[in-house]
Amino acid sequence: MLDEKGFVYEWVEHEAAFTIEDMVRMGFDKELDVAKNLFLRDGKGENHYLIVVRSDKKVNLKEFGQAFGLSKLSFASEERLMKYLGLKKGAVTPLGVLNDTEKQVRVFFDQDFLEMKIIGVHPNDNTATVYLLIQDLLEIIKENGNQLKVVGIPQ
153, 64 contact by CB (below 8 A) = yes
- As a residue count, the chain comes to 155
Top CATH class of 2-151 equals alpha beta
Amino acid type, 155: Q
pLDDT of residue 111: 93
Q: Where are the domains of the chain?
A: 2-151
Distance CA 16, CA 61 (A): 27
Three-state SS at 115:
helix
pLDDT at 31: 55
| Residues 12 and 128: beta-carbon distance below 8 Å | yes
Rounded-to-5 percentages of helix, strand, coil across the chain = 30, 25, 40
- The confidence score (pLDDT) of residue 21 equals 78
Q: What is the mean pLDDT of each run of 10 residues along the chain (155 residues)?
A: 93 83 72 82 95 89 92 95 94 95 96 90 90 95 96 83
